[in-house]
Amino acid sequence: MSLVITGASVLGEKTQDLYVDDAGLLVDEPPLGAEVLDADGLVALPGLVDLHTHLREPGREDAETILTGSRAAAVGGYTAVLAMANTSPATDTAEAALRVLDLGREAGLVDVQPVGAVTKGLAGEELAELGLMARSRAKVRVFSDDGKCVHDARVMRRALEYVKAFGGVVSQHAQDPSLAGPTACCHEGEVSGRLGLPGWPGIAEEVIVARDVMLARHTGSRVHIAHVSTAGSVEVVRWAKGQGIDVTAEVTPHHLLLTTDLLEGYDPTFKVNPPLRPGEDVEALRAALTDGTIDAVATDHAPHARHDKEHAFVDAAFGMIGLETALAVVRTAVPDLAWTDVARVMSSTPARIAGLTDHGSLEVGTPAHVVLVDPSASVTVDRADSVSLSRNNPWHGRSLTSRVVHTVHAGRVTVRDGALTS
Ligand SMILES: NC(=O)N[C@@H](CC(=O)O)C(=O)O
């Protein structure tokens, strides 16, 4: 079915109808007999691309499945998500990657692109089947042990050398385990001291970022820093880019808006890895996103079942959901970011980093992946409204600016007036 999207301001600039033919491609002539999607007063952006989503299938389908996570992604305006490898079992073989890809296709709401593990079982010791995953039909290009740091420098060096052969990238969860071990759960500082929570100091992230940009330089390979959370990491990335090192970085919506003091009530909803940081770090992250030092916003959507989250703070699982609210959080946290920049950090650059050539643009001839946003809406988040299976939603009760109204994936309307069409 062909489609005409009427009245939207494209990238927040001129108002222009968008035409989609019955193959789902953007075209420059209005197709005959097309369905009309009214987008009067809305902003049209290329469908969002998330570099960092936890979908929990296989292994923890009580927290999220590929289908429910795809639904949350579509509601959030996403048309592609990179599914992290820390499932159970991990995505560390070509077969496992293909299974994720195919379940994503079956769900049919967004493109689910598997991330491959860097090491077998995410154990940090032996490289996983990087080449087989890359050469498989899943064409894996992003590799990550996310949830765990590839902390052994020798293993990281080998991984960088290996992925270079097929234009891959290693997405590093930067956490030196000798400086921030498994119990570390609160930014190390005045608040952690007062609350008696094990500290997770910014330096534990920064030393790995510094080491890995040097390894990227040494190997001539490409490194991506997942969920950058400190001003010090921003400084290192800025320096490395200035040196011509092939490094990219992402920030999560929550690290752009939430701060350490939210932990005062010991509410495990706010327990996340890396931890929420003080206001100075948040300011530095916003500035770095605006000036391009940080390349992309990635959700780190990390759904958890109630029985894993509702514990004493130190025992609760790390993570918060975020696919459905990401765009509104970015608009709320960085309201001066132009729509063209929102498209850059949430769609075109993440698509480029992940090698997803079908995503990230509204050019004629490309698949019609489009999100239509009401820029002036203000929405109060209710965790009960979420289509994710999990309820660890840090935005509950908050008012956020802008709202995803419609999402179009490959020419098919997946979300209309904020609701899934199937
Ligand atoms: N970001 C999180 O807080 N949680 C992630 C993994 C992780 O990075 O610890 C998860 O998989 O739950």
Q: Name the closest-CA residue to atom 8, ligand 1.
A: 147
**Rounded mean pLDDT of 392-399?**
98
**Rounded mean pLDDT of 36-48?**
98
Single-letter amino acid code for the residue at 213: V
Long-range contacts of 259-262 (CB under 8 A, 24+ apart): 260/186, 260/187, 260/189, 260/191, 260/192, 261/191, 262/394
Please report which confidence band the pLDDT of residue 1 belongs to, taking 50, 70 and 90 as the band edges.
confident
Going from the C-alpha of 144 to that of each of 55, 107, 325, the distances in angstroms are 15, 24, 24
Q: Where are the domains of the chain?
A: 46-362
Write down the pTM of the prediction.
Answer: 0.98
Q: Write down the pLDDT at residue 76.
A: 99
pLDDT in tens, 194-228: 999 999 999 999 999 999 999 999 999 999 999 99
Ligand 1 atom closest to Cα of residue 320? 3
Distance CA 162, CA 154 (A): 12
- What's the CATH superfamily of 46-362? Metal-dependent hydrolases (3.20.20.140)
> Is the CB of 114 within 6 Å of ligand 1?
no
- Percentages (nearest 5) of helix, strand, coil residues in the chain: 35, 20, 45
Single-letter amino acid code for the residue at 301: H
Looking at this predicted complex, what is its ipTM? 0.96
> Is the CB of 332 within 6 Å of ligand 1?
no
Q: Write down the pLDDT at residue 172.
A: 99
Distance CA 29, CA 228 (A): 43
Ligand 1 mean position, distance from CA 208 (Å):
17
> Which residues are known catalytic residues?
300
Mean pLDDT, rounded, of the chain: 98
Residue 88 has pLDDT above 90, yes or no: yes
pLDDT in tens, 232-287: 999 999 999 999 999 999 999 999 999 999 999 999 999 999 999 999 999 999 99
Q: Is 398 helix (H, G, I), strand (E, B) or coil?
A: coil
Degrees (nearest 5) of the Cα angle 139, 65, 167?
15
**Rounded mean pLDDT of 366-384?**
98
- Find residue 18's DSSP bridge partners: 5
